[in-house]
Chains A and B, each alone.
Chain A
Amino acid sequence: MAAMSDPSREAGQFFADRYGIDSARIASLLSDALAQGGDFAELFFEHRSNGAISLEDQQIKSAARSVEQGVGIRVVKGDSIGYAYTESLDPEAMRLAAGTAARIGEGGDRPTAIDTTPVGAAESHYGEAALLSDAPAAAKVALLDRADRAARDYDPSIARVDATIADERKVVLVARSDGQIVGDVQPLMRFNVMALSQRGESRQTARTGGGGRLGVEYFDRVTPEDTAREAARQAVLQQDAVDAPAGEVPVVLAAGDSGILLHEAIGHGLEADFNRKGTSNYTDRIGQSVASDLVTVVDDATVAQSRGSINVDDEGNPTKRNTLIEGGILRGYLHDEISARHFGVEPTGSGRRQSFKHPIMPRMTNTYMLPGPSTPDEVIGSVEKGIYCVSFSGGQVNISNGDFVFSTTEAYLIEKGRITAPLRTTNLIGNGPEALSRVSMVANDYALSDGRWTCGKEGQSVPVGVGLPTVLVSAMTVGGTNLG
C-alpha cells in the first residue's frame, strides 16, 4: 500500500470498492436509522486485520491472523441511545440493524433526504513507512530471533525467552446524519518480550515491550535487542530485590511509564460521561484547584506515531491537544458528542470505542504531565527515605472517589537521597486528588511511555499512551511487607 496521503478518502474508497458502500447506500441507511424519530444517527464501518507471530523458547510456536468487519449503528434520542451492529455488510443485514437501532426513537417521521459530504484528512499522526502487516513473515521471524539471542546473551541466568510481534490495520468510516463522512486508516504495531531468569530454585519473569502507530521504522528507534535486554535486565534485577516497605512514604515517580498514575488518578475522573452523570469526584469542579500548582496535564491525540494517537475520533471529530489541568486548576473534561452537547461545549475529539460492536464513550488518548523546573537528581536527592518507581504492570481507579492502586514492576529504595536496593513488586495506593495535591517537585525530563498500554473501561479496551516527568509525591501508601 502506498503512503497514506489522505487516510480519510482512502477509507471511503476502501468501503466503496470492497462492499459497495457509497453515498447513496449511506444516505439510505441513515434515513432508516432515523425513521422512528431519532435526533441523530451515525454509521461506524470498520475493517480490522490483525496478525501475530509468537516465539517461545527459541521456536516459532504459532502464527495467527484475524479479520473482522462490520458496522455499528447508533441512534441518539436526547441522552438515550439505540445501538445495533452486524458483521455482514450485506445491504439487507445493515438495513435490519438500522431498524433495530431506530427503536430508541419515540415515533416520528422519516427524515427528508440526507446529503452527505466526504471530508478529507487534515494531517496524519501515523508513521509513513511500510506497515508491519505488509512485511514478509521471514523478516518478522528474524526480529524475534534477534530478541531471543539478545536476552540470552544479557545474562547466563536467562533460561527462557518468549517474544511476540503483532500488527494491526484498521480502516474506519464514520457517516453521520448531519452529513459528514470521515474515515481513517490506523496502523498499530507492538513488540513484546518476556524473559525468565533462573538462579537455583529462584525464578523471576519480566515483560516489556513497545510499539505505536507506525510500521517497520519502529525497529530503527528501538531495536529488538533493546527490548530484549530490558526484559532480561528487569528479570535479573528481581533476583536481588528486597521486600518493599509498608505504609506511607515519599514516592518518586520516574519519567515515562509512571504516567499510569495520571491516567488512573485523574484521567478517568475527567472523562465527561461520569461528570455528566455526577458520578465522578471531579464533577462541578471546573475552575477549581484540583492539584498542586506544579501540575499541568494534557490529553493529546496528535503525538506523532504514539500508540494512543488518532487522526479523528470514532465519532468522526478531529482530534487535538486538550488541556485538562493547568497549574493545578481544572480546565476541562474529555468529551464525546453526547457529553459535549450536555455541557454546551465543543467536542474534544475523545469519543472512542473498542470496535463496531461497542457504543462510544469519552476516552483518553495520550495523557501526560508537562515538565517542571527541577532536575531529576534534585528530585531524588531531596528524599531522605522513600521509594523510586520506574515501571508498572498496571493500575485501577474507583472513578467515583478517585481511590487508585497501581503495581510496580521496577522500583528501588531511596536512602539519603540515593537510589539503593531494588524492590519486589508492590502496590502504590492512594487517592487521585490527594496524590496530585502532594506533588511537591516536578522535573524537566518529560517522557512518553513506549507504546504498550491498553486502557479498559466498562469492558472496552483501547490503546493509549501515558507520560510524566520525574515527580515527587510527598507521601503515598506503599503496600509492601516490610514494616521497618
Chain B
Amino acid sequence: MAETAPLDLASRAVELAEGRGAEQCDAIAFSHTESTVAIRLGEIEKLIEATSHSLGLRVITGGRTAVCSTSDFTPAAFDQFVAETVELARISAPDEHAGLPEPELLATGGGDSLQLYDERIESLALDDRIDMARACEAAALQFDARITNSEGASLSSRIGEVALANSRGFAAAYPATSISLSTEALADDEDGKKRNAWWFSAERSLRSLMDPETIGRIAAQRAVDQLGARKADTKRVPVIFEPMMAARLAGDVAGCATGGALYRGATFLAGRTGETIGSSLVTIVDDPAVPARAGSRPFDGEGVTARRTVLFEEGRFEGFLFDCYTARRMDARTTGSAQRGVTSLPSPGPANLIFEAGETPAEEIVADTGEGLLVTALMGFGFNPTTGDYSRGVGGFWIENGEIAYPVAEANISGDVASMLGNVDAVGSDLTWFGSSAAPTVRVAEMTVSGV
C-alpha cells in the first residue's frame, strides 16, 4: 500500500512539483480516523469507522495559480497528479499578489502547548462509546414524561494529523483529536405539533466533554420548554440572544470582516476600519492560540504563525482577517487567518471566534427587559453581507415584565447588523463555548419581530 503519512506526502508533493518547474508551491495533507456510534431508542443504529487521507497542492508559477487535490497516493498516480497541477497553472492569469508567505512569517514552533491531542480518545473502546451514547439518549427520554420520542444520540471522534509543506522550506505537522456527543429529544404538543430540541458538546479531549446525562437532560429540557409555543405579535422590541445564538450572530459579523469579502466589495464593513460601529459593550476577537479549542492551531493554512486578532474593541471596528493573498491585495499584513481544505485555495476566516463577556448576569438581562424576545433558535439564510441586512427565522420565548411569558415559534427578527451591534445594550457574564466559538448572552435594544 502507498505511503500515507501526511508530512511525508506534503513534502513529496512539494519536491515533485519543484522538480516539474513550479516556482512556488505548498501542499496541505490530512489523515484521520473517524468513528461514529449512533444509538436510537437504546438500539445501535449505525457504527461507522474509517481512515481517510487527502492532499491539496497549490502551484504558483509566474503569478499563475492552480490548486488540485487527490487521495490516490500510489507513486505513478501521485506523480501524474503533481504534473497535472503544474500544467493547470498555465490557464490562469498572472496575479502579482499570488504567492507564499514571506519566510519571516512562517511558524517555527509546533502545537505542543495548544493541547490539541488526547490519547484517551485512541483507547476509548467501542463498548464505552456505545454506553456513552446510550446514557445520553436515556437521560433525555427519562427526563420528563412529555418526551415521547428521540432522533437518537451520536458519539463521534476523530484522530488525525494535519501537515503543511512549502517550497520555502516550511514543513510541519501536528496531531489533533476531536470528540462530540449530541442528542435530539421530541415532545408532543397539545395540537399534535412536535417540539424538538438538540444539544451537543464538542471538544478536543474526552476529559472536557460534557457528561452524557447532562447533554441529554438539556436537550429534553429545551424540547419541553417549547411546548405550547405560539406566534409572536409583529412589533419592535428588545431581542436577547442566548449564548449559542449570540455566537451565530458573531459568526455572521466575522464573515463580513474577512479580506476575501473586502476585496470583492461584498461587505458592509468595507472602508470602515477604525470606525465605532458597535456599542462599547461589543468586543469580538479571533484567537487560534487559545488552548484546546476546536479551532485552535499552531499555524494557519499557509504556515503563518497563528495569533489573536481583535475585530471589534469596545465597539470600534479594528480591521479584517487576512491571508497572504487578500492582505497583499489590500496592502495589509496577513493575520494568519488562512483557512484551507484540500480542494480550494486558502481564504481568510475565523479560527476560534469569541464575543467577549460583559459583567451582567444573564438572569438580570432578562429581568431587566420589560417586553421582548429571547432567541434560542435561528433558522434560514437571510443575511446579506454586502449590505448587512439581517433577517432570520427564530424560536424562543416572549418576555413580559422581566419574566418568560410563553414560548414562541414561527417568528422572524430583522434589522441590519451595523445597527444591531450599535444597539447592544447588555452583555452577559455567561461566556459559553460551542466548538470553535464562544459568546455570552447579548441583548439588542430594538429589532423588528414579525409574527402575526
Residues of chain B with a CB closer than 8 A to A65's CB? 66, 68-69, 84-85, 88
Give the shortest distance, in Å, between B428 (CB) and chain A (any CB). 26
Q: Does B213 make an interface contact (CB < 8 A)?
A: no
Q: Which of A56, A81, A396 contacts B380 (CB 8 A)?
A: A396
Considering only residues 48-74 of chain A, those with a C-beta below 8 Å from chain B are 50, 53, 56, 59-70
Q: Does A230 make an interface contact (CB < 8 A)?
A: no
Indicate if the CB atoms of B43 and A79 lie closer than 8 Å.
yes
Chain B 235-253 interface 0/1 with A at a Cβ cutoff of 8 Å (1 = within)? 1100000000000000000
Indicate if the CB atoms of B412 and A429 lie closer than 8 Å.
yes
Indicate if the CB atoms of A277 and B381 lie closer than 8 Å.
no
> Contacts A60-B92, A204-B387, A246-B448: A429 and B393 contacting too (C-beta < 8 A)?
yes
Residues of chain B with a CB closer than 8 A to A370's CB? none
Residues of chain B with a CB closer than 8 A to A327's CB? none
Q: Which of A404, A406, A477 contacts B450 (CB 8 A)?
A: A477
Residues of chain A with a CB closer than 8 A to B1's CB? 88, 90, 92-93
Residues of chain A with a CB closer than 8 A to B84's CB? 65
Q: Does A481 make an interface contact (CB < 8 A)?
A: yes
Residues of chain A with a CB closer than 8 A to B448's CB? 246, 479-481, 483
**Central interface residue in B379, B382, B387, B392, by most chain A CB within 10 Å:** B382
Chain A 259-279 interface 0/1 with B at a Cβ cutoff of 8 Å (1 = within)? 000000000000000000111
> Contacts A60-B93, A79-B43, A83-B47: A69 and B72 contacting too (C-beta < 8 A)?
yes
Chain B 379-394 interface 0/1 with A at a Cβ cutoff of 8 Å (1 = within)? 1111010110101110
**Central interface residue in A60, A68, A93, A401, by most chain B CB within 10 Å:** A401
Q: Does B207 make an interface contact (CB < 8 A)?
A: no
Considering only residues 318-372 of chain A, those with a C-beta below 8 Å from chain B are 357, 359
**Which residue of chain B has its CB nearest to the CB of A78?**
B43
> Contacts A64-B68, A64-B344, A429-B393: A480 and B380 contacting too (C-beta < 8 A)?
no
Residues of chain A with a CB closer than 8 A to B66's CB? 62-65
Indicate if the CB atoms of A67 and B412 lie closer than 8 Å.
no
Indicate if the CB atoms of B91 and A60 lie closer than 8 Å.
yes
Indicate if the CB atoms of A279 and B95 lie closer than 8 Å.
no
Extra inter-chain contacts (13) besides given A67-B71, A88-B1, CB under 8 Å: A53-B92, A66-B69, A67-B81, A68-B54, A83-B47, A84-B50, A86-B51, A246-B234, A393-B382, A396-B380, A400-B194, A425-B384, A479-B450
Secondary structure call for the A interface = strand
Indicate if the CB atoms of B382 and A427 lie closer than 8 Å.
yes
> Contacts A61-B65, A279-B196: A477 and B49 contacting too (C-beta < 8 A)?
no
Give the shortest distance, in Å, between A119 (CB) and chain B (any CB). 28
Q: Does B120 make an interface contact (CB < 8 A)?
A: no
Indicate if the CB atoms of B43 and A80 lie closer than 8 Å.
yes
Q: Which of B149, B236, B265, B410 contacts A431 (CB 8 A)?
A: B410
Indicate if the CB atoms of A141 and B382 lie closer than 8 Å.
no
> Contacts A64-B67, A66-B68, A203-B387: A479 and B413 contacting too (C-beta < 8 A)?
yes
Give the shortest distance, in Å, between B52 (CB) and chain A (any CB). 6
Indicate if the CB atoms of A405 and B392 lie closer than 8 Å.
yes
Cα A67 to Cα B56 in complex, Å, equals 11
The interface size of chain A toward B, counting residues with CB under 8 Å, comes to: 76
Q: Which of A90, A359, A429 contacts B410 (CB 8 A)?
A: A429
**Which residue of chain B has its CB nearest to the CB of A54?**
B92
Q: Does B139 make an interface contact (CB < 8 A)?
A: no
Residues of chain B with a CB closer than 8 A to A223's CB? none
Secondary structure call for the B interface = strand
Q: Which of A61, A359, A407 contacts B391 (CB 8 A)?
A: A407
Q: Which of A396, A400, A405 contacts B412 (CB 8 A)?
A: A405
Residues of chain A with a CB closer than 8 A to B20's CB? none
Chain B 181-198 interface 0/1 with A at a Cβ cutoff of 8 Å (1 = within)? 000001000000111100
Q: Does A85 make an interface contact (CB < 8 A)?
A: yes
Closest 8 CB pairs of A and B: A479-B412, A405-B393, A405-B380, A247-B234, A407-B382, A66-B69, A400-B196, A59-B93
Q: Does A125 make an interface contact (CB < 8 A)?
A: no
Considering only residues 80-109 of chain B, those with a C-beta below 8 Å from chain A are 81, 84-85, 88-89, 91-93, 95
Indicate if the CB atoms of B411 and A429 lie closer than 8 Å.
yes
A97-105, A291-299, A440-448: which one contacts chain B?
A97-105
Q: Does B40 make an interface contact (CB < 8 A)?
A: yes
**Which residue of chain B has its CB nearest to the CB of A97?**
B50
Q: Does B409 make an interface contact (CB < 8 A)?
A: yes
Cα A206 to Cα B448 in complex, Å, equals 25
Give me 5 A-to-B residue pairs in the complex whose CB atoms sit less than 8 angstroms apart, sorted by A's number: A63-B92, A203-B387, A246-B449, A393-B382, A426-B382
Residues of chain B with a CB closer than 8 A to A398's CB? 196, 379
Give the shortest distance, in Å, between A378 (CB) and chain B (any CB). 27
Considering only residues 400-416 of chain B, those with a C-beta below 8 Å from chain A are 409-415
Residues of chain A with a CB closer than 8 A to B53's CB? 87
Indicate if the CB atoms of B382 and A277 lie closer than 8 Å.
no
Q: Does A438 make an interface contact (CB < 8 A)?
A: no
**Which residue of chain B has its CB nearest to the CB of A399?**
B196
Chain A residues proximal to chain B, CB less than 8 Å: 50, 53, 56, 59-70, 79-88, 90, 92-93, 97, 100, 103-104, 137, 141, 159-160, 162, 196, 198, 203-205, 246-248, 277-279, 281, 357, 359, 393-396, 398, 400-401, 403-407, 424-427, 429-431, 477-481, 483
**Which residue of chain A has its CB nearest to the CB of B88?**
A63
Residues of chain A with a CB closer than 8 A to B266's CB? 196, 203, 205
The interface size of chain B toward A, counting residues with CB under 8 Å, comes to: 75
**Central interface residue in B47, B53, B70, by most chain A CB within 10 Å:** B47
Residues of chain B with a CB closer than 8 A to A425's CB? 382, 384, 389, 391
**Which residue of chain B has its CB nearest to the CB of A482?**
B448
Cα A406 to Cα B47 in complex, Å, equals 34
Cα A450 to Cα B85 in complex, Å, equals 32
Residues of chain A with a CB closer than 8 A to B69's CB? 65-68
**Central interface residue in A137, A160, A393, A403, by most chain B CB within 10 Å:** A403
> Contacts A281-B194, A480-B450, A481-B414: A406 and B380 contacting too (C-beta < 8 A)?
yes
Residues of chain B with a CB closer than 8 A to A83's CB? 46-50
Indicate if the CB atoms of A85 and B392 lie closer than 8 Å.
no
Residues of chain A with a CB closer than 8 A to B145's CB? none
Residues of chain A with a CB closer than 8 A to B379's CB? 396, 398, 403-405
Give the shortest distance, in Å, between B152 (CB) and chain A (any CB). 8
Cα A277 to Cα B46 in complex, Å, equals 14
Q: Does B255 make an interface contact (CB < 8 A)?
A: no
> Contacts A80-B44, A401-B194: A480 and B414 contacting too (C-beta < 8 A)?
yes
Residues of chain A with a CB closer than 8 A to B76's CB? none
Q: Which of B85, B343, B381 contacts A407 (CB 8 A)?
A: B381
Residues of chain B with a CB closer than 8 A to A61's CB? 65, 92-93, 95
> Contacts A205-B266, A394-B381: A401 and B196 contacting too (C-beta < 8 A)?
yes
Cα A92 to Cα B387 in complex, Å, equals 55
Indicate if the CB atoms of A427 and B380 lie closer than 8 Å.
yes
Indicate if the CB atoms of B52 and A403 lie closer than 8 Å.
no
Indicate if the CB atoms of A80 and B45 lie closer than 8 Å.
yes
**Which residue of chain B has its CB nearest to the CB of A75?**
B47
Cα A67 to Cα B74 in complex, Å, equals 14
**Which residue of chain A has its CB nearest to the CB of B48?**
A83
> Contacts A64-B343, A394-B381: A70 and B71 contacting too (C-beta < 8 A)?
yes
Give the shortest distance, in Å, between A391 (CB) and chain B (any CB). 13
